[in-house]
Structure 1
């Protein structure tokens, strides 16, 4: 399934379980996937992270880009992140650490999907589990004249 099936704004609920520190952090917010141009989906997340009496705003932007006949996830600055491979584990080496991820979608039409990342290595040891649900329809791009 392509990322085009996920366009819209989703309620985001994330748990970060840091096994190194024994700390749990929760994030609640939204993830918006919108078609920025043909073959390019903007994936923007924003919310609030809470843990042990702390509360901070968090955000990130990724892009899912069609290259040939396959989709790839890129960081906001254009660096490659991983292939868009629903139901298959993907890998992203980052310095000496390794991230392994898995995107799972429920049946079509998608009403809920999950993204899980496991980070392991000398600097990191955590599991980040995200549930996206309650989609609101995608906004249609504004048409500009002139």
Structure 2
């Protein structure tokens, strides 16, 4: 009986601790709300590209709709895939758009959202859980 009580206590404790999921050691969503949502944009029309200084494309439109829903200002960072994945790994940008597919070569260095279309396009995100990713995934699932 004593071991059953211990199991129940441990189970209750770990359930209570797990209630804060998703864990967000970087405070990613709060930082995006307080400062801006930093989005990497690589050149891959029609998904993402720059027209002069203006970010454009299908995925840029998705980011804009997400930012509007969450009341976030967006700051776009232009660069190559290699440069922007490096910035993603260092948490210098929050997400990366570029017409990536689920089988991207970058999946070892970056996390991926669930595909948002039938062609398996994804948005690159930092590896691991965070509240920004959770909120973005919820938004993408409702497109």
Structure with greater proportional helix content: 2
Q: Look at both structures and tell me which one has the larger radius of gyration over its CA atoms.
A: 2
**TM-score greater than 0.5 by the shorter chain:** no
